[in-house]
Amino acid sequence: MSESIISQMIYENRRRLKLSQKELGDMVGVSNRAVSKWEKSLSHPSTDICLKLAEIFKISLDTLMNGELEPERRWLNKSGMESLRELYRMGRGPSSSHSMAPERAAILFREANPSADSFKVILYGSLAKMGKGHRCDYVLNRAFRGHKFELVFDRDTKNIPHPNTMDCFAYKNGKEIDRERILSVGGGKFLVDGHRTKPKSYYPLTTFTEIAAYCRRNKLRLWQYVEMCEGKEIFEYLKEVWDCMKESVESGLKSTGTLPGGLDVQKKAYFLYNRPSKNETAETRENRLVCAYAFAVSEQNASSETVVTAPTCGSAGVLPAVLYYQKEQRGYSDDDIIKALAVAGLVGNIIKTNASISGAECGCQAEIGSACSMAASSLCELAKMSLEQIEYAAEIAMEHHLGLTCDPVKSLVQIPCIERNAVAAMRAINATSLAGFLSGTRKISFDLVVKTMYETGRDMHKNYRETGEGGLARLY
Ligand code: SF4
């Protein structure tokens, strides 16, 4: 039994059942101070009391002892990889870390404090600097609608545990009754600071090299490795993901007008799709359509419509663009596409686990570079290319995004983000071709380029890591 896990389990489940420490203490025959000590890991309950707690929480004793928290409450697991469900999330844009995760965290916090009459949220780091353009203010005001609510943008505090940090406070009659520090760690995932527990690991192997070696030994394709680790049910989830991606492409292609936010950016997917150039070659047509699909999803995202994080909202257009094109023009079935999504998810998961998919942590290379690697690997899977070729394509796709900065104009996920999705989709196609032509000549491994991306991101000046203080964001 880990004391830190059981303390978190008691805290989380008590909060879930909306019990005070005194109420829980009364139920198991101890004082509120004893409960407080358990929750702070200063002591732990006896086995008899653990049995009573498990009964009250309606969870197994094993779960109480070893932890099995809701996904949002898990810390990143560096000793294994989480489910693809944690990577592909469906929700409203425009930013997985600045709107999707803060909104969910705020709603959970509000629901955990039904007696509160007012709330306050303080945003720090990138959340404070980009919060307005990325619609963090909009989603938080919506989450606390009907309550007195104060939102503070603290752009100065430097000593924060993650570039996307926010503090939530609940008050009753002017007195603070609860507070929580939330870290929005990328891709729509958030963590509660101070509540570390081991996340559930579905994938024991965490590098491409290890996974490829396992698959070679056992004659598995990567999608079969995903099935082996997660069970067949993951394909049902991936079907939902694919349906959501198709819906965002198709809705985006029909949508016209300007994007919200004040930059007056015109939506372009409709025109790209419907206006072929004169004497269009097959190659130009492919470029135009793939770009139209990428614009469609990215414009839906910028309009706060529903998209799939692949791996983030800002980079959500790349993967659906290449897959939609393959389905429409080459006739791949939904089943083929879902297997390709599994492979892309595995590649994204390796990046998320060993580096980062967060623009605030590592710049746009972590978002668009990762999306490009995922898209390239999915195309290789559709073409039944070898493991070596899949690795090569994913590596090329990331390598040529190294150093890519995050500098969105007016903090909106529009310029350069939308075009960048289209360019990355085309680059994924090129990376796949190159991996096929040059198969067997690769010098750089995918794992090495992922590590390089992370180190490059950590060395990148903060102005280029989703703060809106450098590049196009400053000069426009
Ligand atoms: S520049 Fe890249 S990382 Fe930054 S918001 Fe746009 S898509 Fe995301």
Dihedral sign of CA atoms 230, 231, 234, 239 in order: positive
Percentage of the chain exceeding pLDDT 70: 95
- pLDDT single digits (tens) 236-269: 999 999 999 999 999 999 999 999 999 999 999 9
**Residue from 315, 319, 372, 463 to probe ligand 1 pocket by mutation (most atoms less than 8 Å from CB):** 315
The alpha carbon of 328 and the centre of ligand 1 are apart by a number of angstroms equal to 28
Structure tokens at 457: 């991101």
The alpha carbon of 20 and the centre of ligand 1 are apart by a number of angstroms equal to 42
Verify whether ligand 1 is closer than 6 Å to residue 468 (CB atom). no
**429-457: average pLDDT:** 96
Verify whether ligand 1 is closer than 6 Å to residue 368 (CB atom). yes
**How high is the pLDDT of residue 69?**
41
**191-215: average pLDDT:** 87
Which range is least confidently modeled, 37-41, 105-109, 141-145?
A: 37-41
Q: How far apart are CA 364 and CA 262, in angstroms?
A: 23
Structure tokens at 447: 């794992």
The residue among 171 and 11 whose pLDDT is bigger is 171
- pLDDT single digits (tens) 407-418: 999 999 999 999
Phi, psi torsion values for 90, nearest 5 degrees: -105, 130
Amino acid identity of residue 432, one-letter, is: T
Please, which residues have CB within 8 angstroms of residue 189's CB and are 6 or more apart in sequence?
71, 72, 86, 89, 101
Atom of ligand 1 nearest to the CA of 407: 1
Verify whether ligand 1 is closer than 6 Å to residue 133 (CB atom). no
Q: How far apart are CA 340 and CA 326, in angstroms?
A: 11
Verify whether ligand 1 is closer than 6 Å to residue 406 (CB atom). yes
For residue 215, the SS3 value is helix
Atom of ligand 1 nearest to the CA of 420: 7
Structure tokens at 194: 């101070």
Atom of ligand 1 nearest to the CA of 313: 8
The alpha carbon of 408 and the centre of ligand 1 are apart by a number of angstroms equal to 6
The alpha carbon of 154 and the centre of ligand 1 are apart by a number of angstroms equal to 22
**How high is the pLDDT of residue 67?**
60
Verify whether ligand 1 is closer than 6 Å to residue 315 (CB atom). yes
Structure tokens at 389: 């070729």
Verify whether ligand 1 is closer than 6 Å to residue 380 (CB atom). no
**How high is the pLDDT of residue 12?**
74
pTM of structure: 0.81
What band does 99 get if pLDDT is binned at 50, 70 and 90? very high
Q: How far apart are CA 187 and CA 195, in angstroms?
A: 20
The alpha carbon of 413 and the centre of ligand 1 are apart by a number of angstroms equal to 6
The alpha carbon of 185 and the centre of ligand 1 are apart by a number of angstroms equal to 15
Verify whether ligand 1 is closer than 6 Å to residue 466 (CB atom). yes
Domains of the chain: 3-68 (1.10.260.40), 84-192 (3.30.1330.90), 208-475 (no CATH)
Please, which residues have CB within 8 angstroms of residue 466's CB and are 6 or more apart in sequence?
126, 129, 130, 163, 358, 359, 360, 363, 406, 408
Q: For residue 76, is pLDDT > 50?
A: no
**Residue from 98, 368, 456 to probe ligand 1 pocket by mutation (most atoms less than 8 Å from CB):** 368
**How high is the pLDDT of residue 265?**
98
Verify whether ligand 1 is closer than 6 Å to residue 252 (CB atom). no
Between strands 306-308 and 175-186, the pairing is unpaired
**How high is the pLDDT of residue 5?**
65
Which range is least confidently modeled, 72-86, 371-385, 410-424?
A: 72-86
Structure tokens at 24: 């829980």
Verify whether ligand 1 is closer than 6 Å to residue 415 (CB atom). no
- pLDDT single digits (tens) 1-28: 445 567 777 887 887 788 888 999 999 9
CA 95 to mean position of chain CA atoms: 9
Nearest to 197 by CA among 369, 5, 474, 29: 5
Q: For residue 288, is pLDDT > 50?
A: yes
- pLDDT single digits (tens) 43-56: 888 888 888 898 89
> Residue with the nearest Cα to atom 1 of ligand 1?
406
**How high is the pLDDT of residue 13?**
81
- pLDDT single digits (tens) 291-345: 999 999 999 999 999 999 999 999 999 999 999 999 999 999 999 999 999 999 9
Asked whether the beta carbons of 165 and 125 are under 8 A apart, the reply is yes
Please, which residues have CB within 8 angstroms of residue 317's CB and are 6 or more apart in sequence?
293, 294, 295, 296, 297, 298, 301, 418, 421, 422, 425
**How high is the pLDDT of residue 147?**
96
Q: How far apart are CA 78 and CA 473, in angstroms?
A: 33
- pLDDT single digits (tens) 191-202: 888 775 567 899
The alpha carbon of 404 and the centre of ligand 1 are apart by a number of angstroms equal to 9
Residue 291 CB neighbours (<10 A): 23
The alpha carbon of 126 and the centre of ligand 1 are apart by a number of angstroms equal to 12
The alpha carbon of 407 and the centre of ligand 1 are apart by a number of angstroms equal to 7
**Residue from 265, 367, 372 to probe ligand 1 pocket by mutation (most atoms less than 8 Å from CB):** 367
Amino acid identity of residue 55, one-letter, is: E
**How high is the pLDDT of residue 159?**
85
Asked whether the beta carbons of 127 and 184 are under 8 A apart, the reply is yes
Burial code (b: 16+ CB inside 10 Å, e: under 16) for 312-343 equals: bbbbbbbbbbbbbbbbeeeebeeebbbbbbbb
